[in-house]
A and B are shown apart, each in its own frame.
Chain A
Amino acid sequence: MSASALRLEGHERRLLLLGGLAAFCVVVFMTVDAGGKWDFVLPFRARKVATVLLVGYAIAVSTVLFQTVVENRVLTPAIMGFDTLYLLLQTSLLFFLGSRTMASLDSRLLFTVEVAIMVVFSAVLHRWLFEGGRRSVHLLLLTGVVLGVLFRSLSSFLQRLIAPGEFDFLQDRFFASFNNPDPDLLIVSALMTLGASVLGFSLMRTCDVLNLGRDVAINLGVDHRRTVSRLLAVVAVLVSVSTALVGPVTFFGLLVANLAHGLVRSHRHVHVLPAAVFLAVIGLLGGQLVLERVFSFGANLRVIIEFLGGLMFITLLMRGVLR
């Protein structure tokens, strides 16, 4: 935001508006219907809000960066099967180590190890998918979708091999969910997100150059390979964080990233990234508020997001965005 706040450009005004709306959602979520018991309500809700903020941030940023890397608005980490990969990793760890070993380990350490493996895996996956010559986007997309199915089926296969008691343990670990976040996990996730963000922040301008396409970027002096693998490491960390906290949400990133691009009408990541984050927060908190207070539904938000995101995906395809 420029120093002369009085003369804002169009996208800056829209960005401020989105930020204000997001902040409004946070405030309403914290205070609505508190019934006077502030000392209980505020810390309790603060943890929920922190989770939502973290997850929204992770999903939004990872999707936007991933789309920059693959130069496509339809591919997202989730559609390419990254978050099911995380689930598979969790399941196989439990399968091979057993719940007793896993329980004896520090959950923070374990999470760090998981994220590390995830980064390596996604690098390998990426090399395999994206650097094997000029493959068509369609092939990539289909491969990603099918890989997602494969990872999911493999996890449920392993889950069936695990004894029922162990499985309960796994389920507890899988979905901390918005309503019951594990404080330890939350802190580690926040730290990791911070670390990834620092790395991502230093690359923000390079990302704008990457947007011009691989060849142009290389021509302009970007070390493409290095930049891309760093960005993918950031994406892998963020995907792990969001999946660990609330489980896979296939189309939410797609929804947020595309809305952000459409709303700010700017190609610079300084504008698109915060817009996407604000939209994610509005979508998650605002959606939860509307669901809980207006329709008095339960925690159905993920399903609704999947529904809307899927619709958006098909609309994008019908508009011919994917070429």
Chain B
Amino acid sequence: MSTRSPDSPPLPEPGFAPRASVASHEASARSEPLPMSGAKGAPLPLLAVAVLGVLVLAGISLLIGVSHVSWEALLAPSENQRAVQVLVISRVPRTLALLLAGMSLAVAGLIMQMLARNRFVEPFTAGTAESASLGLLAVTLLAPGLPILARTAVAACFAMAGTALFLFILRRIPLRSALVVPVVGLVLGAIFDAATTFFAYRFSLLQSLMAWTTGDFSSVLRGRYELLWGAFVLTVIAYVVADRFTVAGMGEAFTTNLGLSHPRIMALGLAIVAMVTAVVVATVGMIPFIGLVVPNVVSLIVGDNARRSIPWVAVLGAGFVLLCDIVGRVVRQPYEIPVGTVAGVVGSLLFLHLLLRRDDRVG
């Protein structure tokens, strides 16, 4: 993360307290100020630095690739038509897709963590992404002719159903510990995955399945990524209603006490998360751990107020995906390593770090 906010303030060790589930006895251990207290606002200039960092990464992302594209060639377009074409048809869409996917996935992760009231949840660790790809498979099998928008809509429905099932199972688990939650999600994801693989195998679709489960931006071209703008719109909506998620994150009773409808906020949040996930899975595939790692890091920097943290989450999410993609493209030129794989390695390492650095407080 250091590349994007090189001079982030020394983190005041707030610990990695899960956003207290009701049954969690770890709740008392949180030394973090309450979300609404706003004592820990990170200065705006820092956010500007982060944005600048992401822009630099985006610039790098535009310039690397098999076909040589240099600034000089672009500045003298008459001599080198090809560079401009490469840029417009391939590079710019790819970089935009990376930015959009990173932003929306990270924010989706944040929302999910607030709704499930658990810091280890994200579309990848809650079965959402897997159920979305099950939905895609169902469309491919049953109605192959549907336009991409309809396919995505079906995937979103599946994603929502899968996530609802996840939340339902969570409610049924006695002695819910914050750490069991992602395990349930990962296993649920494995179950969906098994079902998907089963049918894909039966109908010889394993290869297409591989293509849409591993996050990969190498096939992004103009005309093939625009749906991701939809995910961006959803992210903006999330920002607009951010305060509601903050409130919902404090519990059902608290929410109701403030005169808000808890189920309605939950439904709204679920819908946003499911649609974002479905769009990303349908266009580029799964990118694990972004929605998990980024919000957690942000929460260390700016605290838990959604209104304040969403811009950070979006910016750092975009930066994270960009960085993973750049690494994947540079390591083995001219071949590529899909971003999903790179994110799997980096993300799981970061996640392990987040998990194990708090072990002194787990009895």
Which residues B174-211 have CB closer than 8 A to chain A?
174-175, 177-180, 182-184, 186-188, 190-191, 193-195, 197-198, 201-202
Q: Does A153 contact B (CB under 8 A)?
A: yes
CB neighbours (8 Å) of B173 from chain A are: 317-318, 320
Nearest opposing residue in chain A for B172, CB measure:
A318
Contact with A along B315-359 (1 / 0, CB 8 A): 000000000000000011001011001101100110110011001
CB neighbours (8 Å) of A145 from chain B are: 182-183, 186
B174 and A310 contacting across the interface, CB-CB below 8 Å: no
CB neighbours (8 Å) of B331 from chain A are: 161
Once the chains are docked, how many angstroms separate the CA of A303 from the CA of B363?
A: 37
Size category, A interface:
35 or more
> What distance in Å separates the Cβ of A190 from its nearest Cβ neighbour in chain B?
30
> What distance in Å separates the Cβ of A154 from its nearest Cβ neighbour in chain B?
6
Among the stretches A4-12, A109-117, A127-135, A231-239, the one at the interface with B is: A127-135
Q: Does A314 contact B (CB under 8 A)?
A: yes
Q: Does A171 contact B (CB under 8 A)?
A: no
Among the stretches A19-27, A97-105, A136-144, A209-217, the one at the interface with B is: A136-144
Once the chains are docked, how many angstroms separate the CA of A42 from the CA of B284?
A: 48
A139 and B183 contacting across the interface, CB-CB below 8 Å: no
> What distance in Å separates the Cβ of A63 from its nearest Cβ neighbour in chain B?
16
> What distance in Å separates the Cβ of B89 from its nearest Cβ neighbour in chain A?
25
B363 and A136 contacting across the interface, CB-CB below 8 Å: yes
Q: Does A147 contact B (CB under 8 A)?
A: yes
Q: Does A270 contact B (CB under 8 A)?
A: no
Q: Does A44 contact B (CB under 8 A)?
A: no
Q: Does A221 contact B (CB under 8 A)?
A: no
Nearest opposing residue in chain B for A159, CB measure:
B341
Once the chains are docked, how many angstroms separate the CA of A66 from the CA of B60?
A: 48
Q: Does A307 contact B (CB under 8 A)?
A: yes
CB neighbours (8 Å) of A313 from chain B are: 187
Once the chains are docked, how many angstroms separate the CA of A139 from the CA of B26?
A: 13
Once the chains are docked, how many angstroms separate the CA of A132 from the CA of B360?
A: 10
> What distance in Å separates the Cβ of A133 from its nearest Cβ neighbour in chain B?
7
Given contacts A314-B169, A317-B184, contact A139 B190 (CB under 8 A): no
Which residues A148-163 have CB closer than 8 A to chain B?
149-150, 152-154, 156-157, 160-161
> What distance in Å separates the Cβ of A164 from its nearest Cβ neighbour in chain B?
9
Contact with A along B73-92 (1 / 0, CB 8 A): 00000000000000000000
A300 and B198 contacting across the interface, CB-CB below 8 Å: yes
Q: Does B288 contact A (CB under 8 A)?
A: yes
Given contacts A134-B363, A145-B186, A318-B169, contact A150 B352 (CB under 8 A): yes
Once the chains are docked, how many angstroms separate the CA of A43 from the CA of B349?
A: 47
A139 and B355 contacting across the interface, CB-CB below 8 Å: yes
Set A134, A160, A298: member contacting B335, Cβ < 8 A: A160
CB neighbours (8 Å) of A46 from chain B are: none
B356 and A143 contacting across the interface, CB-CB below 8 Å: yes
Task: Point out which of A147, A149, A150, A300 has the most chain B C-beta atoms below 10 A from its C-beta.
Answer: A149
CB neighbours (8 Å) of B338 from chain A are: 160
CB neighbours (8 Å) of A157 from chain B are: 337, 341-342, 344-345
B187 and A314 contacting across the interface, CB-CB below 8 Å: yes
Q: Does B120 contact A (CB under 8 A)?
A: yes
A300 and B345 contacting across the interface, CB-CB below 8 Å: no
Once the chains are docked, how many angstroms separate the CA of A134 from the CA of B345?
A: 27
Once the chains are docked, how many angstroms separate the CA of A145 from the CA of B352?
A: 10
Nearest opposing residue in chain B for A134, CB measure:
B363
Write 14 A-B pairs (CB below 8 A) sorted by A numbering: A139-B179, A142-B355, A145-B183, A154-B345, A156-B341, A157-B345, A161-B332, A298-B201, A300-B201, A303-B197, A307-B198, A314-B191, A320-B174, A322-B180
Across the A-B interface, the 10 shortest Cβ-Cβ residue pairs: A153-B344, A138-B179, A310-B191, A150-B348, A307-B194, A306-B194, A320-B174, A160-B337, A153-B345, A138-B177
- A residues near B, CB below 8 A? 132-136, 138-139, 141-143, 145-147, 149-150, 152-154, 156-157, 160-161, 250-251, 297-298, 300, 303-304, 306-307, 310-311, 313-314, 317-318, 320, 322-323
A150-B352, A161-B337 given; name 9 further pairs at CB < 8 Å: A133-B359, A135-B362, A143-B352, A146-B348, A149-B288, A150-B348, A306-B190, A314-B188, A322-B180
